[in-house]
Amino acid sequence: MTALNATHDPKLRSWVASANEAGCDFPIQNLPFGRFRFAGSNEAFRIGVAIGDQVLDLRAAGLVDTDDMNALMEAGTQERQALRAAISAGLAEGSEKQAAWSKALLPQAKAEMTVPCRIGDYTDFYTGIHHATTIGKLFRPDQPLMPNYKWVPIGYHGRASSIGVSGQVFKRPQGQTKAPDAAEPSFGPSKRLDYELELGFFIGRGNAQGEPIAIADAEEHLFGVTLLNDWSARDLQAWEYQPLGPFLSKNFASTLSPWIVTMEALAPFRAKFERPAGDPQPLPYLDSASNRESGALDITLEVLLQTAKMRAEGVAPVRLTRGNTTEAAYWTAAQLVAHHTVNGCNLQPGDLLGSGTLSGPEADEAGSLIELTLGGKQPITLPNGEKRTFLEDGDTLVMRGWCERDGAVRIGLGEVTGTVV
């Protein structure tokens, strides 16, 4: 795992003034990667790094000779760390690069962003034990967790083609549903549209087919982390998911932050991975000393909602929940990589692994509406008097994430917004 170095120094400041402001998501200690172009243009998307309220064009700054983000992600750890060090040094106060690199900056407000890389394959896991338990209680009160949950990271293969970037607007999905008292299913728009608060883990260097990635090496294959909203049609899901799992209830849209926060940037915010007393310990292929010592990530996540009425009246989004990943995830990112490849499956640069819904143990830490409203039985009342059990047309969902800890500079994961119409 990445050791702390000069790029993490909390005293480090940038000549980009906005990067030094308190509460900034993108200080010089962060330096997340994304793809951008000038808004309104037909230019090819280029690789950029967020710094304050600006984006640094890496090719224009002479730092890379490609616009292929996946090729950059495939680089080895040492090469990636060297690039991070060069970007950090060039953006630091007093750098001789300031005059030249100032011309390679574009205000983020003038940039059009796209998904951070080409996503070849997408696997969604189910690491949120509190989410899994709450959902299980709704459908299986006598056995909320299936017998395999604490032994094997559960996942399914999702759809990469419908993954969009923050700001995504999508149509309410249609499909088959079946009411409990109905003799046969009906067809129409989903009435139980939900969100899922997740982290997305991007693969950097891949592995050859037939060659599993050992957990001790898994972090070498992780490029970074993003925020992910895996929209879900709960009524479609309830009818279709047996015996093979989610299909149309999940593949209509998923929304990502435009930025990938690298594993290097997250080094100051690692945490111990510890199982509750009495729970089984991971099998040997999912266990290592380093994973136990610092395999978890300490990230605060929050969800906000803005209805169409609020937007029309100029009312800002209101917070629904806030929680932390250290209390939510039952498996680490390294364990997901090790398990995904243990059968010989080959991962590739740009592959995306979803964490699954990350809910904390308390009600105000839920990562979905189905949990907040107990399956729609307890509607929530918003400050303006509107009520919600599930999402309605015109609703905009906002997700935010950040890391902060004594002795380190706060860094953010950016923001994910999506609107259903």
The answer to whether residues 297 and 178 belong to one domain is yes
The CATH number of whichever domain residue 83 belongs to comes to: 2.30.30.230
Write out the catalytic residue numbers. Answer: 131
Residue at 225 is within a domain: yes
Mean pLDDT computed over every residue of the chain: 97
If 0-12 CB within 10 Å is exposed, 13-18 middle and 19+ buried, where does residue 50 land? buried
Q: Which amino acid is present at 303? A: V
Query: Comparing 122-131, 237-246, 278-287, 357-366, which segment has the lowest mean pLDDT?
Result: 237-246
DSSP state of 268: G
Give the pLDDT confidence score for residue 8 in this predicted structure. 98
Give the pLDDT confidence score for residue 26 in this predicted structure. 98
- With a cut of 80, say whether residue 2 has pLDDT above it: no
The answer to whether residues 174 and 54 belong to one domain is no
The answer to whether residues 147 and 92 belong to one domain is no
The answer to whether residues 65 and 149 belong to one domain is no
Structural domain ending residue among the three candidates 114, 142, 158 = 114
Q: For residue range 325-366, what is the model confidence (pLDDT) as tens digits?
A: 999 999 999 999 999 999 999 999 999 999 999 999 999 999
The answer to whether residues 86 and 105 belong to one domain is yes
Give the pLDDT confidence score for residue 405 in this predicted structure. 97
Residue at 1 is within a domain: no
Phi, psi of 309 (to 5 degrees): -65, -45
CB-CB neighbours of 342 under 10 Å: 15
Structural domain that includes position 56:
6-114
Phi, psi of 143 (to 5 degrees): -150, 75
The answer to whether residues 110 and 146 belong to one domain is no
Structural domain ending residue among the three candidates 65, 84, 114 = 114
Query: Comparing 141-150, 296-305, 378-387, 388-397, which segment has the lowest mean pLDDT?
Result: 141-150
Residue at 239 is within a domain: yes
Helix (H) or strand (E) holding 50: strand 46-51
pLDDT, mean of residues 13-23: 97
The answer to whether residues 157 and 288 belong to one domain is yes
Of 108, 100, 103, 99, the residue nearest 38 (C-alpha): 108
- With a cut of 90, say whether residue 173 has pLDDT above it: yes
Provide the token pair at 278.
Answer: 């009495």
The answer to whether residues 167 and 248 belong to one domain is yes
What percent of the chain stands above pLDDT 70?
100
pLDDT, mean of residues 75-97: 97
DSSP for 30-49, written as a single string: T--EEEEEETT--PPPEEEE
- With a cut of 70, say whether residue 1 has pLDDT above it: no
- With a cut of 70, say whether residue 163 has pLDDT above it: yes
Number of domains in the chain: 2
- With a cut of 90, say whether residue 143 has pLDDT above it: no
Structural domain ending residue among the three candidates 59, 83, 114 = 114
Q: For residue range 367-413, what is the model confidence (pLDDT) as tens digits?
A: 999 999 999 999 999 999 999 999 999 999 999 999 999 999 999 99
Burial 122-136 (b: 16+ CB within 10 A, else e): bbbbbbbbbbbebbb
Provide the token pair at 204.
Answer: 């950097």
pLDDT, mean of residues 81-94: 98
pLDDT, mean of residues 200-216: 98
The answer to whether residues 150 and 289 belong to one domain is yes
Give the pLDDT confidence score for residue 3 in this predicted structure. 87
DSSP state of 185: -
